[in-house]
Structure 1
Amino acid sequence: MRAAVIGSGIGGLTAAIALRAGNVPVQVYERATTLAEIGAGVSLGANGFRILASLGLGDRIRSVSANLRRIEFHHWRTGEIFCQHPMGDWYEERFGGPFLGIHRADFHHVLLAAFDGTPQLNHHCTTVEETPDAVRMTFSNGRTIDADVVIGADGVNSAVRDDDTAPVFSRMTCYRGLVPTDRIPGGDTLDLTFFLGPNRHLVAYPVRDGSLINFVAYVPGTEWTQESWHTRSDPASAVAAFEGWTPQVTAMLAAAPEVGRWALYDREPLRRWSTPRVTLLGDAAHPMLPHAGQGTNQALEDAAVLAACFPDFARYEQIRKPRTRQIQLGARANAACFQVPEGRPTTDRNARLTTLPETVAWIHGHNPLDLP
């Protein structure tokens, strides 16, 4: 049975690797014309890592990542730590895998090597037509290609997704960037670090074995609506958005050689992901806001369950949809939690953060390879 994967991101490549491990012939089609080094950091939890370990990639992923030793929450103006929890060895023992910070490009290189082949580049899928015997894909370069089954891993604006609802704008944008660790005051002490303030927050963590700090700075607003990895902004704009914040934040933003900026979108949970010959994974199936740190991890879980259930797409969807829906909606709620006004709302939020390890245990401790 010939499988086609649309999209060579982390979820699409992992699905292709897992399917090949099960002796399924698979080809990957990618809209980009080159595999350039784009993106910034990715947080990889135990639930995602165990998928990679099951494919024999655990050691390789560890070697290009930073193992995060703790999580800290800081006051936006003073920089004072008001809540922290251990990670590192404690997290790995508790949840069965590490919590890593990894550059997306490094992650992608590991997966491309494991795929042992080059995705078909310059193949932007525009339509998918299913017949009783095959699926016909049409690409913007003029080609039409048939496969037995098609897996849409082509993101929030998926062409494979059979749904006419529009992406939902969160009324929030983010600045993202990478800064050499030695250019940030106290940069070598940063692990998974949150700076929480009214109406905005910043998350930072090391990647590339600690030599770089990845940051994501979230601000409200509707004037910026572009959603693209390639969109750039002036670092001075990011600094201005966090005027009055602790110097560690403003110095981090000012030291960025370049800053990406994009608007944050998700979609309402889908009622149906699959037909007998077509299914979805990752952001194509359940695009979620980044406030749970689970977009990449859920795509990895999808890939593993899809390969285990293949070609029974109905079973795959039945297993995955309830979990991804809960995380997807929870990610929406987290944005408000991180950006509450000062006073009683902050006090209540900070109290909830003291129980964070137990609150997220159902996410990080989950093993999608234990199929029902």
Structure 2
Amino acid sequence: MKVVVVGGSMAGLACAHALFSAGCKQVIVLEKARTLKSAGAGLALDSQTCQALAEWQLHQQLMDSTLPLTIDQNQATESKSKATRVLARDENFNCRAAHWSDLHKLLYDKLPRDTVHWGHEVVSFRQSGDGLGVTVEVKMAQTDQTIEIDGDLLVAADGSMSLIRKHFVPHQHRRYLGYCAWRGVFDYSKNDSPEMVASIKKVYPDLGKCLYFDLAKGSHSVFYELHGKRINWLWYVNQPEPHMQMNSLTAKVDKIAIEKMHEEASETWVPELSALIKATPEPFINVLYDREPLKQFVWGHVVLVGDAAHPTSPHGVRSTNMSIMDASVLGQSIAKWGFDKISTALAEYESIRLPVTSQQVLYSRHLGLLKQGFLFDPPHSFPWFEADADLCEQLLQRNMPFFKSHS
């Protein structure tokens, strides 16, 4: 069996590992980027995802490049007084904090060198008449020529704006969530800001093992430490949908916008968090979308995985976790049924992953609406200092459907 994976991001590389582990001998990953790049920001890996990576012989490298997250804490900040209140805290949170590019490189480095074909952009595909084969049309960046690649199975790992998903579900559009995220990673490895780092660790004493969520009226921030003396932060801001170029998820940021953001940070957050945000070079904006859950992931010998199958909001720290678990379950199903029963394997993958990811997408959406204040009347103005225990409990990650289930 020859498997063609479209997309060389996290989901695509994870699928390559899972397919090799399942006994596939011919796996090629087609990625339109020309080289491996250092990009992205922080992410949290849950215990099931870490177990899947360990099964692909990546456990030690994962431990060496991540930090433990043993605490999930949600707190509120009253912007005028800068007073804070802990809303909910889970001290049995079992995750790892990783940098996107570190994990991506880890996955890439452990694949056979001829697996990923850089500079190969898929422009179209077609299925054979009997549905048992696929042909992919690929434009090669180096020569600007177009070639065709045949395969027995096509795995669509081409992201939230998936060309392959659009082929099967042409009329479903991405859904703007009503807010954007300022993002940045502050690197203090050179120790050029010891006083500022000491100050923020004094205010947030569990930094280094805690996933902090800080809620203000109609806004919230997230921050945690990464391996290599880096602090990852996000700040969600309600606003009309920006005008986006093509399929981009990153909005253009100029000096004036950054200065305005810095002013609003001083007004909203405690001085220590505001100082961290201001000291971070080149912050950027992610415009946030998800999509309605699909009713299927498989069409013949074409299967969707990762954000191509279920684009999600970031509040349940699900995107990378779902991508890697998709790959894991796909590989396990193929190993179980064998290549001569690939249709049965794909059906099993779909039956396991579709209900899990659908519920997780919807719950992540709910968490975003809750934390950004959209669920209250009037919107964006809920006084979190007055929240009762039942409402605060909803904020914790442990309430995510299937959070502790392997599938």
Q: TM-score scaled to structure 2, two decimals?
A: 0.82
Pick from 342, 351, 354 the counterpart of residue 321 of structure 1. 354
Aligned to 1:115: 111
Pick from 82, 89, 92 the counterpart of residue 85 of structure 1. 89
1:186 is aligned to 2:187: no
**1:67 alignment partner, SS class:** strand
Aligned to 2:339: none
CA distance in 2: counterparts of 1:349 and 1:283, whole angstroms: 35
Question: Which residue identity is paired with 1:82?
Answer: V
Q: Is the 8 A contact 2:46 2:96 kept in 1?
A: yes
Pick from 160, 164, 187 the counterpart of residue 160 of structure 1. 164
Q: Is the 8 A contact 2:16 2:29 kept in 1?
A: yes
Pick from 186, 197, 209 the counterpart of residue 216 of structure 2. 197
Question: Which residue identity is paired with 2:351?
Answer: Q
CA distance in 2: counterparts of 1:6 and 1:72, whole angstroms: 37
Structure 1 residue runs without a partner (length 5+): 92-97
- Deviation larger for 342-351 or 7-16: 342-351
CA distance in 2: counterparts of 1:365 and 1:153, whole angstroms: 24
CA distance in 2: counterparts of 1:123 and 1:358, whole angstroms: 38
Aligned to 2:46: 45
Aligned length: 359
1:238 is aligned to 2:234: no
Q: TM-score scaled to structure 1, two decimals?
A: 0.89
What value does the CA root-mean-square deviation take over the aligned residues?
A: 2.3
Deviation (angstroms), 1:208: 1.6
**CA deviations over 1:47-84 (Å, ceiling 9, x no partner):** 22121122221221111011123222232322524235
Deviation (angstroms), 1:163: 1.3
Q: Is the 8 A contact 2:90 2:396 kept in 1?
A: no
Q: 1:2 to 1:177 in 2, by over 3 A?
A: same
Q: What does residue range 138-287 of structure 1 map to in structure 2 within 5 Å?
A: 138-141=137-140, 142-161=146-165, 162-164=168-170, 165-181=172-188, 182=194, 183-184=196-197, 185-187=199-201, 189=205, 190=207, 191-209=210-228, 211-226=229-244, 227-228=248-249, 232=253, 234=255, 235-245=258-268, 246-287=270-311
**2:110 alignment partner, SS class:** helix
**1:270 alignment partner, SS class:** coil
Q: 1:358 to 1:186 in 2, by over 3 A?
A: closer
Aligned to 2:96: 100
Q: 1:358 to 1:253 in 2, by over 3 A?
A: closer
**CA deviations over 1:170-200 (Å, ceiling 9, x no partner):** 1211111101354443247323111101121
Question: Which residue identity is paired with 1:153?
Answer: A
Question: Which residue identity is paired with 1:144?
Answer: E
Q: Is the 8 A contact 2:367 2:395 kept in 1?
A: no
Q: Is the 8 A contact 2:74 2:396 kept in 1?
A: no
Q: 1:350 to 1:120 in 2, by over 3 A?
A: farther
Aligned to 2:12: 12
**2:405 alignment partner, SS class:** coil
Q: 1:68 to 1:231 in 2, by over 3 A?
A: farther
CA distance in 2: counterparts of 1:153 and 1:6, whole angstroms: 5
Q: Is the 8 A contact 2:76 2:87 kept in 1?
A: no
**1:244 alignment partner, SS class:** helix
- Deviation larger for 288-297 or 185-194: 185-194
- Greater Rg by CA: 2
Question: Which residue identity is paired with 1:244?
Answer: E
Q: Is the 8 A contact 1:282 1:296 kept in 2?
A: yes
Aligned to 2:191: none
Deviation (angstroms), 1:353: 2.7
CA distance in 2: counterparts of 1:356 and 1:303, whole angstroms: 28
Q: 1:232 to 1:329 in 2, by over 3 A?
A: same
Question: Which residue identity is paired with 2:259?
Answer: A
Structure 2 residue runs without a partner (length 5+): 141-145, 189-193, 335-341, 374-379
Give aligned-pair identity as a percent.
25
Q: 1:208 to 1:320 in 2, by over 3 A?
A: same
